[in-house]
Structures are given as C-alpha cells and as structure tokens.
Amino acid sequence: MSTEPLVIVNQIDPAFGAFLRGLDCAPTVIDTEDPDRPWIIPATTDVLITRGRRWQDAPASAPELPRLRWVQTYSAGVESYPDWLKSGRIVTTGRGLTAPQIAEYILSSMLRVERRIDEIRARSAADWIEPQLGTLEGKTLGVIGYGAIGQETIRRAQAFGMQIVASRRGGWATPVPGIFGLGSAEEVMSRADHLVLALPLTPKTRGMFGSEMFSAARRGQHFVNISRGGLVDQSALISALDAGQLGFATLDVTDPEPLPDGHPLYTHQKVLITPHVSYVGAPEVERFQAKVAANLRAFLAGTEMTDVLVHARGY
C-alpha cells in the first residue's frame, strides 16, 4: 500500500464526509461537486463511495481512473451502475442496510390483506358489524430469495405463527430450522398464501415472473414485490389478477419508476402501489457508517471485506 493518504470521494452527503474524515486512518475525503454526473471524479481517487443517483446516464466508456481500487455502493442492487465501474476493482454493496424496515413493510402488507384494517373503520352505528377477516396464523409465507431481506421477513413471520417455504439460488445444502427449503421458485409459488420476491435484478431474473410463473401460483395468492420492478411482467401480472389466479398485489417497485400516468396498475382494485419507500424509517445511515468503517479497515489491511459483489452472479 502507498504511504500517501487514501483519497476517498464521498457521494453520499456532507455529513457522511465528516464521518469519514473522523476515522483514524486519516483519509483525504472529497465530497462530490456534481451529483448529476457522479462519474466525474478526480483521477487520484482511490475509493469511491456512491449511490445510484444518475449513474444510469453514465457514458459507455470509462474515464481515466488509474488509482480507483474500491467502489462502495449505498444500495444493495448494482444494476444501475455501468459495467466499467464494476470491472477490474473491488465492489462492495449496501446489502442488508434496510432489511429490517423492508421486512416490517412486508408484514404490514400481509396484515393489511388479512385484517383489512383500512376497510373496516366504523364511521357510524350502521358500521358496527362483524366483518369477514383473515389471519396470518397458520398461513404459508413463500419467500423467493434467501438474502438479508428474506431472512428478516421470515424471522418476523414466524412470530405470527406462519408456515415458511423458501427457495434460494444456491439450494439448501443443510436444513434451516423452521423453513421448508424448496428447489424452485415455482414450488414456492404453488404453496404460498403470501408470496414475497426478495431477489436481485440480474439478466437471469429480469422478467422471471410472467404468465408461466403466475400460472403456478396458489389461487388467490397475495403477491408482494419489494425488490425490483423489472423482475415482473406487469401485463402478465394484471392478467393473473383479473383471472383470480392472484388475489392481490402489493408493489413497492414497478418498471419504470414511476409508472406513467394512466397506467392500469394505478387504479386496479386488487393492487396497492407505494412509491419505492419500503426501506424508509430506520437508522440505515448508522449501519452504513459501520459497514464502510469495517470495510475500510479490511481494505487497508488486505483482509476480507463484507458484501463483495460477485460478478458471475450479478450481486
């Protein structure tokens, strides 16, 4: 390692730059000056700490960044970053930062469907009737993708007495207590009363949930997507809802975001769309600070870093 101070470009916010300057490794920290063009950074940059804003507009060819050895992203997904930024250097992600609050959003969406609390408000004596309500207890939660979000969701769902079925990319080498590990997403779809997508968006998963996958769903299923809108064929989703194959869809993500005005998903009676906010409401900044500090120590020491991007998987 060079004895020169490490040059870190911070594209999070000024407060995060102040945090970096306070670390004991005494890095030189440059706060971004052009948030609309995050690829414009000094050639002396050793480390880039960035988030997904505007990277989709990056040029196809890489600028000259001969010293850039490590990129830390705030987001868990990396599909919005250009390939040249992710190639030839270490890339670590913000995986898991917002998993607890996303899991709470998922549980809230399932409770809303079962308990219908927004529909049963009494406004007069005439509303004082006993409605037909469901319960999470004894229902089956299906989770496709067993990463941080999937695991946080499962932990909470088990407290409600739900049965858990799940699938994961690498299969199940050993059993996980309390989880029925299944071999495919189709099997999970076929058993779940509430189905949660917790997958990254990669070339292999884009459009994965279309008419064929929905035909495998347990009839009347509640379909929840908090991952990426590009996982879902939205026309096929509408058809499955109209046919009753799916009973309801809660979507915190769409493709594109936002959907254009007049899109049929906005007004569909069996759909709730929220504006990609499931991650909001917990101290992810403090978690990110701890993650970056630990990774920075590992980077300087040449030891193993956490949440390193595996290029072959795309996440």
Looking at the domain assignment, is residue 186 inside a domain?
A: yes
Decide if 263 is catalytic. Answer: no
- Which range is least confidently modeled, 48-52, 136-140, 265-269, 293-297? 48-52
Asked if 151 and 48 sit in the same domain, the reply is no
Looking at the domain assignment, is residue 115 inside a domain?
A: yes
Asked if 116 and 223 sit in the same domain, the reply is yes
Asked if 92 and 152 sit in the same domain, the reply is no
Model confidence at 53, pLDDT cuts 50, 70, 90, reads confident
Q: Give the per-residue pLDDT at 216.
A: 97
Asked if 79 and 140 sit in the same domain, the reply is no
Decide if 187 is catalytic. Answer: no
Q: What is the mean pLDDT of residues 92-106?
A: 95
Looking at the domain assignment, is residue 1 inside a domain?
A: no
Q: Give the per-residue pLDDT at 62.
A: 93
Domain residues for the domain of 76 are: 7-96+282-301
- Which range is least confidently modeled, 34-38, 223-227, 293-297, 299-303? 34-38
Are 291 and 307 in contact by the 8 Å Cβ rule? The answer is yes
Looking at the domain assignment, is residue 314 inside a domain?
A: no
Tally the C-alpha atoms within 13 A of residue 207's C-alpha that lie toward its C-beta: 2
Model confidence at 264, pLDDT cuts 50, 70, 90, reads very high
Asked if 66 and 180 sit in the same domain, the reply is no
Summarize pLDDT for 63-76 with one digit per residue, the tens: 999 999 999 999 99
Q: Where are the beta strands (DSSP E) in 103-182?
A: 140-144, 163-167, 180-181
Asked if 12 and 126 sit in the same domain, the reply is no
Residue whose structure tokens are 């379909």: 223
Q: Give the per-residue pLDDT at 3.
A: 62
For the chain, the distance separating the N- and C-terminal CA atoms, rounded to the nearest angstrom, is: 28
Which is catalytic among the residues 79, 222, 228, 284? 228
Asked if 69 and 147 sit in the same domain, the reply is no
For residue 2, pLDDT beyond 70: no
Decide if 228 is catalytic. Answer: yes
What percent of the chain is predicted at pLDDT more than 70?
99
**Whole-prediction pTM:** 0.89
Buried b / exposed e across 37-73, counting CB within 10 Å, b at 16+?
A: ebbebeeebbbbbbbbebbeebeeeeeebeebbbbbb
Looking at the domain assignment, is residue 12 inside a domain?
A: yes
Which is catalytic among the residues 257, 286, 311, 313? 257
**Three-class SS of residue 134?**
coil
What is the rounded distance in angstroms from the CA atom of residue 297 to the CA atom of residue 301? 6
Q: What is the mean pLDDT of residues 167-184?
A: 92
Looking at the domain assignment, is residue 205 inside a domain?
A: yes
Looking at the domain assignment, is residue 309 inside a domain?
A: no
Which is catalytic among the residues 115, 276, 287, 297? 276
Asked if 164 and 269 sit in the same domain, the reply is yes
Summarize pLDDT for 131-174 with one digit per residue, the tens: 999 999 999 999 999 999 999 999 999 999 999 999 998 889 88
Q: Give the per-residue pLDDT at 284.
A: 86
Asked if 133 and 47 sit in the same domain, the reply is no
Mean pLDDT of the chain: 95
- Which range is least confidently modeled, 2-16, 163-177, 285-299? 2-16
- Classify strands 194-197 and 7-10 as parallel, antiparallel or unpaired: unpaired
Residue 227's domain is classified under what CATH number? 3.40.50.720
Q: Give the per-residue pLDDT at 1.
A: 46
Closest CA to 61 of 38, 84, 40: 84
Q: Which amino acid is at 225?
A: N
What is the rounded distance in angstroms from the CA atom of residue 286 to the CA atom of residue 100? 14
Asked if 49 and 74 sit in the same domain, the reply is yes
DSSP one-letter code for 79: T
Asked if 134 and 230 sit in the same domain, the reply is yes
Asked if 66 and 112 sit in the same domain, the reply is no
Phi first, then psi, for residue 299 (nearest 5°) are -60, -45
Q: What is the mean pLDDT of residues 275-301?
A: 93
The number of distinct structural domains making up the chain is 2
Q: Give the per-residue pLDDT at 111.
A: 98
